[in-house]
Amino acid sequence: MVKVVKKAIYLTWEDRFKQLKSFKKKYGHCCVEPSSSAPPGLLSFVNNQRRLYASNRLTQTKQEALEKIGFIWKASESMWQNKYKELLAFKKKHGHCSVGWSNDEDKSLAAWISRQKKLIKDNKLSTKQFSMLKKIGCSLEHKDNWHKRVGQLSVFQKKYGHCKVSRNHSDSAGLGKWVQAQRTHYKKGLLSDEKIQILNKLGFVWAIRPDYFIKLDQV
């Protein structure tokens, strides 16, 4: 019995680029992932272009061709943009950005939004990404948790006469860290006017000298 050996098909850069353009036309983005229904080898091609770009080994002509179709050089940014477009499509269909967990098709997007909320809480979401989400009406704030913290801060203010909570203060676990996060959000312009007003009414101090709490501990 004669064993038939299939000859490997070699695709040029231009061939792969055409595949990527077709992928973009079909899905609206160039974010090829392992789970994507993409032609075999296209994911490797995309990853290789990023490596070549990072090491300055990609020709200017190829770089411009890729950028012209919306290619994003950072994989993490590409994946973020892909999910953002999914959220835009969800809003267009439903009229809002409140993605629930009950529908299996939406669970991945709901998990992504939950992740964005965690990033903003930890001060790790970029100002640009925050603004993009805010612009389409996507709420990244756990309102109940925020107001709960305000209540704890109000109790602290009545007890001590100020809102300068140190990170290691034991009255309310995590309150000092939350207070510092509000200052960081304020500096980045990520805090709403409503919240600024609420905190101002409590006598919130937006700028603290780095050595303030060190001196306080020494008293």
Q: Where are the domains of the chain?
A: 9-72, 74-140, 143-218
- Distance CA(181)–CA(187), nearest Å, equals 10
Pick from 80-89, 119-128, 142-151: least confident = 142-151
Q: Give the C-alpha separation, 180 to 176, whole Å.
A: 6
CA distance 16 to 19: 5
Q: Looking at 17-26, 98-107, 141-150, which range is the least confident one?
A: 141-150
* Between 59 and 102, residue with greater pLDDT: 59
With b for 16 or more beta-carbon neighbours within 10 A and e for fewer, the 54-64 pattern comes to eeeebeeeeee
Up-side HSE of residue 211: CA atoms within 13 Å toward CB? 3
| H helix intervals, 11-142 | 13-27, 42-54, 60-68, 75-94, 107-121, 127-135
Distance CA 169, CA 172 (A): 7
Residues 146-172 have a mean pLDDT of 84
Q: What is residue 2's predicted lDDT score, i.e. its pLDDT? A: 53
| pLDDT for the residue numbered 213 | 46
Look up the pTM and report it: 0.53
pLDDT of 41-90, one tens digit each?
999 999 999 999 999 999 999 999 999 999 989 888 888 988 898 899 99
**Other residues' Cβ atoms within 10 Å of the Cβ of residue 32:** 24
Cβ neighbours of residue 65 under 8 Å, at least 6 residues apart?
A: 17
Q: What share of the chain is helix, strand, coil (3-state, %, to 5)?
A: 60, 0, 40
